[in-house]
């Protein structure tokens, strides 16, 4: 029998957080849902714990023979989804108890809700872009100009509910590797027939040192390929020049700031060779897509590339 929500959970090395995640879903005051958890070949005991939890609760669990990353794990879960809407929850995060009941009052193809970060010491940090979501509440976003207003909100897949029919109509899928949801998120926003905003916290985003994007790696260079994919999407969209320039203006600002944050403010996460490749890729996209190169940040990044002979950022 069809359910209202399919909750897809990619699981990888979250043995200390997984049960908390699952319990937060079963604690919902709206129970018309299914859970599909996909273990991405964990090596910390998460696999055995997931088997125990799926046996206890009776939800679907898939166990992959190789590690592919969260994007591929989500794709595997979606293949089995039967719900009217699809929701993604990372295995170390939690849902607010009233989320599903509040979502049930909306009917758009894409519903975006707010989130907060939390730490093990009980510290909580509000989404810095909550004001954007509140300003768009009680509106149905249907044109590209209105949709571009939500680009500045933290671009992740887990603060959204996707109508299943729309999801498959647009053939939405995740790439493998780092930053796998950047292109997915922008395309899901642009292609949705209608978007509504639930301006309340529905998702609790756990901050932990062992997560993929907080680990030092040269694989962060994948951010360039993901943004290039988004720029290509936008250049291929059937829209007016004004709509295109509005979308691109917002994307330019986000892309520049994302690169700056990654190679400067969070430089410990990226290897030396990774920083070099990211800045080279940034310059290439700057020229290829005529990205706003007059901003202070883009000028600063270019100067780092051209003047330091890649002896970058210490």
Coil/strand/helix, residue 67? coil
pTM for the model: 0.90
Sign of the torsion angle spanned by Cα atoms 189, 221, 210, 257: negative
Distances (CA, A) of 249 to 191, 241, 258, 289: 18, 12, 14, 11
Residue ranges of domains in the chain, CATH in brackets: 5-210 (3.90.550.10), 218-307 (no CATH)
Q: What whole-number distance in Å separates Cα of residue 160 and Cα of residue 154?
A: 11
Tell me if 262 sits within 8 A of 278, measured CB to CB.
yes
- Comparing CA positions, the residue from 99, 91, 89, 108 lying closest to residue 30 is 99
Query: Structure tokens of 163?
Result: 């109508």
pLDDT the model gives residue 212:
56
pLDDT the model gives residue 294:
61
- Comparing CA positions, the residue from 192, 89, 63 lying closest to residue 140 is 192
C-alpha 151, offset from chain centre: 12
pLDDT the model gives residue 313:
43
Question: pLDDT tens string for the chain (314 positions)?
Answer: 689 999 999 999 999 999 999 999 999 999 999 999 999 999 999 999 999 999 999 999 999 999 999 999 999 999 999 999 999 999 999 999 999 999 999 999 999 999 999 998 889 999 999 999 999 999 999 999 899 989 887 789 999 999 999 999 999 999 998 898 899 999 999 999 999 999 999 999 999 765 555 567 778 899 999 999 999 999 998 888 888 888 898 899 899 989 988 988 777 888 888 998 999 999 999 999 988 756 555 555 655 555 544 444 44
Element (H, E) at 154: none
Tell me if 162 sits within 8 A of 110, measured CB to CB.
yes
Q: Crossing angle for the helix pair 46-57 and 18-26, nearest 10 degrees?
A: 20
Q: What whole-number distance in Å separates Cα of residue 289 and Cα of residue 299?
A: 16
């Amino acid at each position: 029998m069809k359910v209202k929500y399919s909750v897809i959970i990619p699981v990888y090395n979250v043995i200390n957080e997984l049960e908390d995640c699952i319990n937060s879903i079963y604690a919902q005051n709206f129970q018309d849902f299914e859970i599909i958890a996909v273990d991405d070949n964990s090596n910390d005991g998460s696999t055995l714990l997931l088997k125990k939890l799926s046996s206890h609760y009776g939800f679907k669990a898939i166990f992959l023979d190789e590690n592919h990353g969260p994007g591929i794990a989500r794709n595997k879960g979606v293949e089995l989804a039967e719900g009217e809407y699809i929701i993604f929850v990372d295995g170390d995060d939690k849902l607010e108890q009233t989320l599903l009941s509040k979502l049930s009052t909306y009917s758009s193809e894409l519903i975006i809700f707010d989130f907060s970060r939390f730490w093990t010491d009980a510290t909580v940090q509000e989404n810095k872009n909550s004001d954007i979501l509140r300003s768009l509440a009680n509106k149905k976003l249907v044109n590209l100009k209105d949709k571009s207003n939500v680009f500045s909100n933290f671009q992740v897949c887990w603060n959204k509910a996707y109508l299943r029919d729309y999801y498959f109509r647009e053939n939405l899928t995740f790439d493998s590797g780092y930053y796998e949801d950047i292109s997915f998120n922008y395309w899901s926003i642009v292609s949705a027939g209608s978007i509504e905003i639930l301006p309340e916290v529905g998702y609790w985003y756990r901050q932990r040192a062992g997560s993929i994007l907080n680990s030092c790696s040269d694989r962060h260079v994948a951010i360039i390929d993901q943004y290039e994919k988004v720029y290509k999407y936008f250049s291929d969209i059937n829209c007016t020049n004004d709509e295109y320039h509005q979308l691109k203006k917002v994307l330019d600002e986000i892309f520049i700031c994302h690169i700056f944050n990654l190679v400067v403010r969070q430089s410990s996460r990226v290897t030396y060779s990774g920083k070099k490749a990211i800045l080279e890729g940034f310059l290439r996209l700057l020229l290829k897509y005529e990205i706003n190169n007059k901003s202070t940040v883009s000028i600063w990044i270019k100067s780092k590339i051209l003047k330091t002979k890649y002896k970058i950022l210490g």
